[in-house]
Structure 1
Amino acid sequence: MSGEGRLLTGPAGERYRFDPGGFWLELLVTGGPGAHRRHEILHTPDDLAAWLVDSRLAAIAPLAAGDLRIKPMELHDIKRFRDSMWTVARDLAHGRRPVPGALALINDGAAASPRPRIDPATGARAWHTPLSGVQVLGAAAREAIDLITGPAATRVRECAAPDCHLVFLDTSRPGNRRWCSMERCGNRRKVHAYRSRRQAG
């Protein structure tokens, strides 16, 4: 994943960068409950392994698909966690406290996490591999715990566009990010405002 965020494709085929601000929030772009099911991309453990190669987890230390050993039940648990995090993220974005059941799911998921190491050949940060699905879930759950219990909890936002429901952590210095992406929703809003002014004039 580049420093500019993850490359997504909108309903009209437009490509844009989206920076979720955290790994547990990045998981939300893989699908979800209800209307989000049409965006589902994690059908098999191999799908998740391929997705993780370009994730924020891989930005911490490189990952290749062969570094991951994800079992079908682990994929099921990760998707269950992800689906619950949609509600948690929206609760935070709107100033609500997440429900106890969702918090319990986060706590249960935090049991294990990836083990970092220093690559003796390069001196760079790496992961002890193979990584399991339990460790991937643990990385997301522990990050969620850190965010929910810290000051950044007030910086979770839902895109201000009425037809977009992406949720992100606002890491901007002033804390005034409103859009999932200026390339998509921010630009659409600018175009709409411009046309409204033209019509009013």
Structure 2
Amino acid sequence: MSVRDRQQDAAVLWQSGRQDGALLSLLVAVAATSRKRYPRSLESSDRKAFTKFLHDEMLVLTGGAVENFNIHVSQASPKHYPDGFMPMEDVFYEFIRCALAHEGKLPDHVRFFEKEGVGWSLDVDEQAVRLTTSFIELLSNVVVYAPENLSEFPENIEKPDDVIGWELFGKRRDAHKEYLAKRRARVVEFNSTDS
């Protein structure tokens, strides 16, 4: 079993209409990738490794739209989020990843929806967190293009940064040269520690 297996399982589950299963499989791949980037020697908490990794990759997760994303969540812990605003990566960990992993299903207030002409959208109100169905593809990109997973996705090894930028961000790629430079540094760093 590998990260690539989890990503491919997610694609099969999604095509079969099994959205929760696809999301769970991808979140397992995200968790495994987060531990490659933040091993226990650097970060002892699984939650922190997961949320730090998603924060690092928020541009990929939002298709290049947003780097820091805080949303108001009525169920947010007043102790940790006194204003009710949570970073998006914390929402994914607490309300999506934990619910799927520990309860076996998405909470009733987390739903997928179709939205024509939009690459990615998130709607939040007092009743629900709604994600566009294209979110699964973007979450998959987080896993597929992570430098830590290049050995599992060798088709990405020789791709130039501008091609990676186009595949991740499309027409927005020029606005994300800093992200691509950081990604390149991670590729070099990971390859030097991996050999």
Per the normalisation by structure 1, the TM-score is 0.31
Structure that is richer in helix per residue: 2
Greater C-alpha Rg: 1
